[in-house]
Structure 1
Amino acid sequence: MSQPSVPQGSGSSGDGGLVWAILTMTAGLGLGVCALCVLGYGGLGAVMVDQAQDDPWVVWSIVVGLIVLLVALAIFVAGVVLMVRRRG
């Protein structure tokens, strides 16, 4: 039995969507790692400082880390959605 032939132009436009999905997921993962590092920094400061709520670098490290983590999660989910749409 012969394999169905693939049209000549189908590979170039479809690969762009796959590349964007992979880049988006990679960016989300990289940003997530950075966010976890900032959260760890703030958490370590909260453990080391007796009055953590009075120390702005501790509080803002945790707040910024959580915000960046949520943004990273949204970017990663967008990459997964692009990947699923590419496959489906």
Structure 2
Amino acid sequence: QDILQSIRHNNFKRFENIVKKNLAKKEKVSKQMLVALKSLKKYMKHIENMFKSNITNGLIEGLNNKIKSIKRTAFGYSNFSNFKKRILIQAGIISISA
């Protein structure tokens, strides 16, 4: 809860302190949470950059997920051009003209 709140309020120092504090009390934290906290500590510099710039790769991840979904449901396209057009239509970049 505290971690989410620090993210919502864009407070990196609080986020960092919460991670460090919870890592210090290893016996009171579940193994899964400990793994997550260690990952957060490992990537702390990158997380700090996200807090400063407020830029994420969420948009790209979403587009990549959409492309994979199209690929799964298509069962193969006869050529790459049709596949590319389908991606652009689904993403709303181009429209179908009647």
TM (norm. structure 1) is: 0.32
> TM-score when scaled to structure 2?
0.29
Higher RCO structure, 1 or 2 (CA under 8 Å, sep 6+): 1
